[in-house]
Amino acid sequence: MVELHIHLDGAIKPETILYYGRKRGIALPADTAEELQAIIGIDKPLSLPGFLAKFEYYMPTIAGCREAVKRIAYEFVEMKAKEGVVYVEVRYSPHLLANSKVDPIPWNQAEGDLTPDEVVALVSQGLQEGERDFGVKVRSILCCMRHQPNWSPEVVELCKKYRHQTVVAMDLAGDETMEGSSLFPGHVKAYEEAVRSGIHRTVHAGEVGSPEVVREAVDTLKTERLGHGYRTLEDEALYARLRQENMHFEVCPWSSYLTGAWKLGTEHAVVRFKHDQANYSLNTDDPLVFKSTLETDYQMTKEGMDFTEEEFKRLNINAAKSSFLPEEEKEALLDLLYDAYEMPPPAAAGLHP
């Protein structure tokens, strides 16, 4: 399987949070991993702000600590190996894990000496060591945050600096209902610089925001993929255009239920994507908070939406094709999938009698 939309800070082991809470003397609302998981986790739909509030509980235990930042990256790869993932792109905001040279300092931390730049170096080291030890190919995506356009110019510079050390793209995350946030000059300039510098681009849009947010992501920010993108379907002309352009939708089914982005009893956007043979992938988003694994999303679509093995193969091949890997590495990943699925590669199709 290939996964393209998962947040590092939403994929931390509860045990690791407890360990650093104790080690750093930071109070947590629970004493065991099970209790902590129950408090951080969600079982029924919350609003997006309600969901984002969950991070306030545990991010202070990890942010600002070099050892913790590197460890969560390493353990992330181990987690994905256990799920049978062969390639994953993991995203995070370097600024939300820092406590120095970041304004404002997140999570009410005291000022320290861990900069966003060093955060990227540490995460990259953790991912590379995990890749070596667990045999999963991993790349990273750096997030700009909608409410902090002042951070975005540095995000694109860090993408350039670390482009040969796991970083393959940038993202825009946070509350997309924040009026006009796609058009904040800090974000727009950063995305223009990304285009100029050959940095790949994805944007959270159309999860709970209007099709207009999707249009801004595509036309102004020149995104190559859409994080979620469900609300695109409310504008048939826009959807038709994006399908024609082979836009990739990073779909997170279980997440969309728990954040209220999708209401039970209505048809999920992914059913339409499947029906139209659109370009999309299945992803977990924030498995710590959603108490899930990739299997959760596959079971949900298989049992509740009649997804078939053939469709799972198709969407994983599309995920690989829409990944931000360089062409040669992408070809190797696709060969791996064709082999695993016992499918002839497209170039060879038709050569077999």
Nearest Cα residue to 202 out of 65, 42, 90, 348: 90
CATH code of residue 130:
3.20.20.140
**pTM metric for this prediction:** 0.94
Q: Work out the pLDDT band at 353, boundaries 50, 70, 90.
A: very low
Does a structural domain hold residue 157? yes
Rg (CA), the chain: 19
Q: How far apart are CA 173 and CA 259, in angstroms?
A: 15
pLDDT at position 46, please? 85
7-20 burial: b if 16+ Cβ within 10 Å, else e: bbbbbbbbebbbeb
Is 157 labeled as catalytic in the residue annotation? Answer: no
Does a structural domain hold residue 223? yes
Given 89, 207, 216, 250, the catalytic residue: 207
Does a structural domain hold residue 261? yes
Do the Cβ atoms of 76 and 132 come closer than 8 Å?
no
Q: How far apart are CA 239 and CA 237, in angstroms?
A: 5
Q: How far apart are CA 60 and CA 41, in angstroms?
A: 17
Q: What is the pLDDT of residues 35-45, one digit of tens each?
A: 999 999 998 99
Does a structural domain hold residue 351? no
- Token readout for 96 is 């939300």
- Domain range for 159: 2-341
Does a structural domain hold residue 350? no
| Identity of the amino acid at 313 | K
Q: Work out the pLDDT band at 348, boundaries 50, 70, 90.
A: low
**How many structural domains compose the chain?**
1
Q: Give Cβ neighbours of residue 68 (< 8 Å, ≥ 6 apart).
A: 16, 20, 61, 62
